[in-house]
Amino acid sequence: MGSPPWEGEDKGRRGPYGGGKEAADAAARAAAEEEAIRARILKKWQQRNTHALARERNRAICAMDGLPLTEDIDDKDTPATSRPDSVPTASSTGTSARKTRSISRRRRRDAMLHLRKLFLSASHVRTPSLSPLSPLHRLLAATAPASPEPFAVEDYLVTTCGLSRPKARKASKKLAHLKSPSKIDAVLAFLAALGISPSGTAAIVAADPQFLCADVELNLAKRVAELTVLGLKRSQIARLIPLARAPFRSSSLGPNLAFWLPVFGSFEKLLGAIKVNGGILGADLEKVAKPNLAILQQCGISVQEFSDTYLTRVLTRLPEYVQSAVLYIDKLGVPRDSPMFRYAIMAFAFQSQEKIDRKMGILEMLGWSQDDVLTAVRKMPCILTMSEERMQTAVNFLTRDVGLEIPYIAQRPVLDDVLTAVRKMPCILTMSEERMQTAVNFLTRDVGLEIPYIAQRPVLVMYSYERRLLPRHSLLNILNSKDLLYPELDFYSIVALTEKKFLDKYVHPYEKSIPGLAATYASYCAEKVPNEVST
C-alpha cells in the first residue's frame, strides 16, 4: 500500500491558459479530462489497497485460530507429527504438543501486532484531496468564471417597481435579507394579475416593503380564494389590497370581512370605513367590535350611516371608553337624537373624563361662564379635541385681537375655524391687533361673510382694508345697484384678482354705462372722498 500517484506533484502548478472565453473553455475541458484520469487511477489504487488489506486481515485471523498457512510457516517450525516421514513416539508426542502450543501462542502474538500495525497504517492512508491546495482544485479555480454580483435590492426597486430613489433606499432596508429577486417577481406578477396598476404597486411597496416577502402560493393566493368565496370580485380585491396590506397577509382577514360586510351593508361602505380606520380588519370581534356595535345601537346610531366618517374609529376603541363617553355626553345634556351626539362620541371616546374637565376649566379661567362652556360644547363637541395650548391661543385671539365677546363665541364655536385659518396662513398672527380686528369686522358685518368661510380663505384678512377690500366692495355695491352683476358672485374670487384683471373685468366694461366709475374707484383706492357717480 502507498500514497496516491499524484501526491508528489508540484502543488504550485497552475493551468497554462490565459484569460478569454476560449481559453477558459479549453482549460475547463483539460481539467475535466485530468479529473477523469485521476478518478480511474484512484479507483485502481483503492482496489489494490483494499485487496491487500483483506489478505493481511485473513492471514492474521487464521494465525490467531492456529490454522497453518504454508507461505507463513517455515519447515523448521513445523511439528514432527506433520511431516510424512516421521514416526511418532511416546516421548516425542508430548514434546511435539508443547512445541505446537508455543508456536500457536507466538503466531497469535505476532498476528495481533501485525494486525494492529496494519490498521494503524491504514487509518493514516491519505486519499486524494480537493482542498484548496490540490493542483486539480487550483486549476478549476483559476479557470472558473467569477461568481455573480449580490442582489441589489435598491436598484431593483427603482427599475422594476417604479419607486423613486429615496423611497427605494428606505424600503431596501427591510428587504436586505433577500438574495435574489425571485420572491419579489412572484409578488409583482400576482399584483399585476389582479389588475393593480404599476403606480398602485409602487404605492404598496413604498408603504409596506415587506409585502414583497409574502409567499404567493401559501399566503396571498389563499386570501384571494377566501375572499372570492365571500362574493368579492377580483377588481374589488385589487382595491382592497392597498388599504389592507398587513391584514391581507393574515389568515384572520376572511373571518373579519365575513363579519363586517353585513354590518356595513355593502363592499363600498366597508371600503369607505377601512379608508378611515384600517384597524377594523384586525380588531378583536368578540371583545371589541361586537360590544361597541351594541353600545352604538343602544344610542340609535347605525354604522351604515357613518361608514366613511371619523366615527368608525370608535368601533376599535376599548368598549369601556365608549360606554364612559356615552354616559358623560348624557350628563352634559346632548340629546341622543341630535347630530351633535355622534360628534360628541368622537370627541369624548378618546379622552379621559379628567382631561375633558380640565379643558372645560381652561375655558372658564379665560372668562367663560359655565353656561357659555356648556353651550359651546353642545353646539360643537369637537371643541374639546383641541389641545389646551391651542384652545387658549384661539380664545385669546378671538377676544383680544378680533374683539369678539365670549357669548358670541359660545353661540358660534369658531375656535376650530380660527385654527384652520392659522394653519393655512400662519403669518396672519403677525398682523397688528387693530388691523386684524378691522378686517374681520368688515368682512363679517359689512360684506356679510361667515367665520368658516373666512377661515378657509385667511388671505382675506391679510388684504389691505383701505386699498383693496373697501374699494372693491364699494365698487361692487355700485354695480349691484345697477343690476349689472350676478348675485351669486363669490367675494373671494373678486378680491383675489390682480388689479389689472379687476379693472378689465369690473371697471372698464361699465364705464360707458356708469360715467365716472373709473375715477370713483381710483378715489376709493387713494382713500379720498369719491366724486358722485352719475346715474
- Where the chain has pLDDT below 50, the residues are 1-19, 60-61, 63-65, 69-92, 115-116, 118-147, 529-535
- Residue 246 and residue 214 in contact, taking contact as beta carbons nearer than 8 Å: no
Is there a contact between 140 and 78 (Cβ–Cβ < 8 Å)? no
User: What amino acid occupies position 409?
Assistant: I
The rounded distance, in Å, linking the Cα atoms of 314 and 296 is: 9
Contact (CB, 8 A) for 262 and 218? no
What is the per-residue DSSP string for 467-532?
A: IIIHHHHHHHHHHHHTT-S-TT--HHHHHTS-HHHHHHHHTGGGTTTSTTHHHHHHHHHTT-PPPP
Query: What is the reported pLDDT for 431?
Result: 66
pLDDT in tens, 421-459: 655 665 665 566 677 778 878 888 888 888 777 767 777
pLDDT of residue 185: 92
- Please tell me the distance from the alpha carbon of residue 364 to that of residue 384, in angstroms, as a whole number: 13
Spatial distance between the Cα atoms of 190 and 196, rounded to a whole number of angstroms: 9
DSSP assignment, residue 79?
-
* Residue 334 · residue 326 · CB < 8 Å: no
| Residue 135: per-residue pLDDT | 46
Q: List, in order, residues 6 or more apart from 530 with CB less than 8 Å away.
A: 474, 519, 520, 523, 524
Residue 353: its pLDDT value, please?
A: 82
Q: What angle (nearest 5°) sits at the alpha carbon of residue 417, between those of residues 415 and 420?
A: 115
- Compute how many other C-beta atoms are within 10 angstroms of the C-beta atom of residue 10: 7
- H or E segment to which residue 133 belongs: none
Q: Say if CB 46 and CB 40 are below 8 A apart.
A: no
The x, y and z cell numbers of residue 474, run together, are 364699494
Cβ neighbours around 356 below 10 Å, total: 19
For residues 219 and 190, give the distance between their C-alpha atoms in angstroms, rounded to a whole number: 11
pLDDT at 209: 93
Distances in Å between the Cα of 192 and the Cα atoms of 159, 161, 182, 189, 219 are 16, 11, 15, 5, 16
* 310 and 342 Cβ atoms separated by less than 8 Å: no
In this predicted model, what pLDDT tens digit does every residue of 482-533 receive, in sequence order?
A: 888 876 678 888 888 999 999 999 999 998 889 899 999 998 888 654 444 4
Q: What is the pLDDT of residues 172-218, one digit of tens each?
A: 999 988 888 898 999 999 999 999 999 999 999 999 999 999 999 99
| Residue matched to cell numbers 365575513 | 258
The residue extents of the domains of the chain are: 21-143, 148-251, 463-535
Listed residue (171, 135, 132, 130) closest to 154, CA to CA = 171
